[in-house]
Structure 1
Amino acid sequence: MIPFDEGRARLLLAHACESAGLPGPGDARLLALGENAVFDLGDPAVVAKVGRGPELYERAHRELTVAHWLAGQDVPVVRPYGAVAPEPQLAHGHPVTFWHRLAPAVRPARPADLAPLLRALHRLPLPPFPLAARDLLAPVERWLASAEGHVDPADVAFLRHRRDAFAAALPDLAPQLHPGVIHGDALPRNVHVGPDGPVLLDLENVSHDLREHDLVVLALSHDRYGVPGGEYRAFTEAYGWDVRDWPGFAVLRGARETAAASWVAQQAPGNPAALAEFGRRVDSLRDGAAEVRWYPF
């Protein structure tokens, strides 16, 4: 398997830019490397997202569709770049999408900036196209398989067991909120605070599911990633409810932790820091140590 690293992503980006009729990426700046490699092309004012593998094509296509719909619903979201075809470009099977670059941020996004965006999203009716459920455990097998030979097989077996247990428990959850449109990865890092206010980013996981999904994300960020208590309270006050009061919280949190630990596995090959973080997350789950701090990648 060809590793998906910055060099590989740049080659795929160059191919996609040529297919889309855009100038070569030249000194494009890498912004993030995870499920996608995200690049700022500089000139034109475009951001490109290069998918890690061909299996992400449908998700990339759905993200473009969702972005157009949300913009039409007056939800502040990042907008697809209109000067290219309205579907993902394919670069050796990898989906590549292009987006208008936003004006520079006036400050970092805070949890309280996320709350009104989620309230607006959660008030929407269903769109005129199908939205899948937020099956956050579905990619676990792909993430773990990508790390084969690089992580402890016992850790992989442990996460698979947790995945199966939580997958069996999720359908029995009784929601407090009415199910509907959700973001699916509701974190401050997916909010950009520009001159005109907060804008919602990364729409790949927009789904039709329990709205509690969007609230558990930040509760877990408070517990595991160091979001201060005051900022978390500002978020719950702005949204109007604390998901930790919901009886289903522990199940949804456990499923999210299982996915988050598994996600790091795909970064482990060739990345000692990711390998160490994977071990930290798995050990804390195995030990039931909910207070152990995790670090983002």
Structure 2
Amino acid sequence: MGTEEPPAEAEGEPGPPFTEGRARALLAAAGERAGTGEAELLALGENAVFALRAARETGEPAVVRVGRGPWQRERAARELRVAAWLEERGVPAVRAALPGVAVVDGHPLTYWRRLPDPVRAATPADLAELLRLVHALPAPPFPLPRRGLLSGVERWLRLAGGAVPAEDAAWLRTRRDEYEAAVARLTPVVPPGPAHGDALPRNVHVGPGGPLLLDLETFCDDMREHDLTVLVLSLDRYGLPVREYEEFVRGYGWDVREWPGCTVLKGARETASCAWVAQHAPGNPAARREFGRRVASLREGDAAVRWHAF
């Protein structure tokens, strides 16, 4: 099991609801054949991710990522630069199918090579293998942002509006401020540098050539412990089996729980993940229930409450 991990992003004003229909309309406006038989929706989160039978420009199968709004344009361009840099450094990762970012009605679109079907599901051990490679890299020849783990909280709560209790939203804002200050005071053990930023097995694809990294949009230059704490949250809140976590630790070579700062980073991630699900609350009863479960467990300090991946 895993968890959705809210990505770092700049603030942006809400636009039209970002639904599958809206994303397909943007695809069509880009000149792609956007019908369900031509574009298969793979994911709908911070991006809508579609598998295209044939991209208009190349005629080859591709995956296109449609960003939620204009604030993601810079991040999309950086993701392409990261992919090219990882290729130069020999790190197995997804590769771009087309250079540059297409922009449709303010939304960024990027095109990626279609991967072969996976030979098996990715495991935490696969993730550990890739993180060891990433964490051995020097800084790239272009700037990477800090992780900004809590930077999206205000926008997610604003998108939630009246669908979540005002007192819960206010409490989360206060908790965010406290954790931002606490994270800024941390001293890492692993030398800081390039990190994936959303280190989950779901962001690893195991094809015939072995595991490779997906979703490069959260690459950052920060404490590498950010990458290692994600699976601690998966273990404690989402039911990741202890055996799989232990395999991750053996593969990476160190258990981040030995670091006193792990508790702080985990608390920051819990805060962000709680706010992240709030944005889906309007019109979605399941999201409202999950938000209620998460915020109640945090307010009551009940670490035994398991969260549902959303």
Question: When the two structures are superposed, what TM-score results if normalisation uses the length of structure 1?
Answer: 0.95
Q: Distance in 1 between matches of 2:27 and 2:161?
A: 27
Q: Deviations for 1:3-30, whole angstroms, at most 9, x for unmatched residues? A: 11111111112122x2xxxx42322111
For 2:52, the equivalent position in structure 1 comes to 41
For 2:87, the equivalent position in structure 1 comes to 71
Which residue type is aligned with residue 84 of structure 2?
Answer: H
For 2:105, the equivalent position in structure 1 comes to 92
For 1:53, the equivalent position in structure 2 comes to 69
Percent identical residues: 61
> Could you list the runs of 4 or more consecutive aligned residues of structure 1 that deviate by over 3 angstroms after TM superposition?
none
Q: Distance in 2 between matches of 1:244 and 1:282?
A: 24
User: Of 26, 33, 47, which aligns to 1:24?
Assistant: 33
Q: SS where residue 90 of structure 1 aligns?
A: strand
For 1:259, the equivalent position in structure 2 comes to 272
Please report how far the alpha carbon of residue 106 of structure 1 lies from its aligned counterpart in structure 2 after TM superposition: 0.7
Q: Distance in 1 between matches of 2:205 and 2:161?
A: 35
Q: Distance in 1 between matches of 2:103 and 2:277?
A: 26
Q: Note the 1:37-186 alignment, pairs <5 A.
A: 37-43=48-54, 44-82=60-98, 86-186=99-199
For 2:252, the equivalent position in structure 1 comes to 239
Q: Larger deviation: 179-188 or 271-280? A: 271-280
Q: Larger deviation: 39-48 or 166-175? A: 39-48
For 2:57, the equivalent position in structure 1 comes to none
8 Å contact kept, 2:157–2:275: yes
8 Å contact kept, 2:25–2:34: no
Q: Note the 1:183-198 alignment, pairs <5 A.
A: 183-198=196-211
- RMSD (CA atoms): 1.0
Q: Deviations for 1:69-110, whole angstroms, at most 9, x for unmatched residues? A: 11111100001113xxx2211111011111111000011111
Q: SS where residue 142 of structure 1 aligns?
A: helix
Establish whether residue 2 from structure 1 lines up as the match of residue 16 from structure 2.
yes
8 Å contact kept, 1:34–1:267: no
Q: Distance in 1 between matches of 2:262 and 2:146?
A: 18
Instruction: Kindly tell me the number of residue pairs found equivalent between the two proteins.
Output: 289
Please report how far the alpha carbon of residue 42 of structure 1 lies from its aligned counterpart in structure 2 after TM superposition: 2.2
8 Å contact kept, 1:31–1:40: yes
Q: Deviations for 1:48-72, whole angstroms, at most 9, x for unmatched residues? A: 1111111111111111111111111
Q: Which runs of 5+ in 2 are unaligned?
A: 1-14, 55-59
Q: Distance in 2 between matches of 1:164 and 1:66?
A: 30
Please report how far the alpha carbon of residue 253 of structure 1 lies from its aligned counterpart in structure 2 after TM superposition: 0.6
Which residue type is aligned with residue 253 of structure 1?
Answer: K
Q: Distance in 2 between matches of 1:58 and 1:267?
A: 24
Q: Deviations for 1:179-238, whole angstroms, at most 9, x for unmatched residues? A: 011000000000011111001000111000001000000111111111100000000011
8 Å contact kept, 1:13–1:25: yes
Structure ranking higher on relative contact order (CA contacts 8 Å, 6+ apart): 2
Which residue type is aligned with residue 42 of structure 2?
Answer: L
Establish whether residue 271 from structure 1 lines up as the match of residue 271 from structure 2.
no
Please report how far the alpha carbon of residue 149 of structure 1 lies from its aligned counterpart in structure 2 after TM superposition: 2.0
For 1:208, the equivalent position in structure 2 comes to 221
Q: Distance in 2 between matches of 1:268 and 1:40?
A: 27
